[in-house]
Amino acid sequence: MVTITEKHVEELYELAKQVYAGKTKVSDALEIMHQQGMTKVSANIYINNFKLMMKGRGYKRTLNLYAVEYYLENISKDYGSSGLKSAVQSVELHINYFGNFSKGKMPGLKNLLNHYRKISGSGEWVASGSIYPDEIEDSKIFTEGAKKQRWVNAYERNADARKECIKKYNYICAVCNFDFRVRFGEIGKEFIHVHHLIELSAVAKEYQIDPIKDLRPVCPNCHAMLHRKRPAFTIEELKKIIELQKGETA
């Protein structure tokens, strides 16, 4: 595994800025870093995460601690307080996502986040239980042969839209009416997934989500079953399947 050095990070930041500004092609930036000993997949993560930071969106793929600090520090210098606030929000979403798997064991990154939250005027970070793995962006490279590359678009899962959906429909599964609080008590409080009625991968561009029309709260089991085919089952279709299954086992 190639070690990503401080020099790599600093070069990646400059290339990411150029890509973000439309001055350099992603493929050219990846080739430059490949010539410096990095894999194109690793370079893509660092370049793409810069874009997500600038847009205030969460990211799945981790950066080393030096990179996060270097990005935050230089985004603050290059893009001012608004840029820093977006980047801080992006890191916060990443920590909330990653905490689902690491049980929150990211003290170095959390301390760094709190430092830059204070600088940006955002106050101290507080862990959130409202961010789920399917609500964070993740861009991937798929290669075919030595020269062809295809980029898969990813769409933002908006945390505010999620909150509005739950405010309307509550923490109860729209398919099977499962209530985690009733079943599990306090640990099930305010736990639910949110399902997009229109699959975001089928949308050709970013669009304004209507939390009431486009989203529904669903339990993880029903969420998984909805996506057992493409396009996904509708909520009504899955309800019918459940009813039919009940009839067969009666």
pLDDT, tens digit, 9 for 90 and up, residues 48-91: 999 999 998 888 888 999 999 999 999 999 999 889 988 998 88
Classify 185 as helix, strand or coil.
helix
Residue 35's SS3 state is helix
pLDDT digits (tens, 9 = 90+) for 173-198: 999 999 999 999 998 998 999 898 87
- 83 within a domain of the structure (yes/no): yes
One domain for residues 36 and 91: yes
198 inside domain: yes
107 shares a domain with 173: no
Tokens representing 145? 């042969």
Same domain, 11 and 86: yes
Instruction: Fill in the amino acid letter for 200.
Output: L
> Is 230 inside any structural domain?
yes
From CA 44, how far away is CA 4, in angstroms rounded? 13
Same domain for 165 and 208, yes or no, is yes
Q: Give the separation between CA 122 and CA 92, rounded to whole angstroms.
A: 11
Residue 1 lies in a domain: no
Q: Structural domain of residue 78, as residue ranges?
A: 6-120
Q: CB burial class (10 A; 0-12, 13-18, 19+) of residue 152?
A: exposed
User: Are residue 180 and residue 243 in the same domain, yes or no?
Assistant: yes
* CA distances to 112, 115, 118 from 124, in Å: 11, 8, 7
Q: Provide the whole-model pTM.
A: 0.53
Q: Is 127 a residue whose pLDDT tops 50?
A: no
The count of domains in the chain is 2
Q: pLDDT higher for 77 or 136? A: 77
In a domain? residue 140: no
The pLDDT value given to residue 116: 87
Cβ neighbors of 183 (< 8 A, separation 6 or more) are none
Predicted confidence (pLDDT) at residue 102 exceeds the cutoff of 90: no
Contact between residue 91 and residue 109 where contact means Cβ atoms under 8 Å apart: yes
In a domain, 130, yes or no: no
Q: What is the largest CA-CA distance in the chain?
A: 67
CA–CA separation, 118 and 20 (whole Å)? 26
In a domain, 177, yes or no: yes
Q: Where are the beta strands (DSSP E) in the chain?
A: 141-144, 148-151, 193-196, 215-218
Which of 16-20, 30-34, 162-166 bottoms out in mean pLDDT, i.e. has the lowest?
Answer: 162-166
Q: Are residues 93 and 16 in the same domain?
A: yes
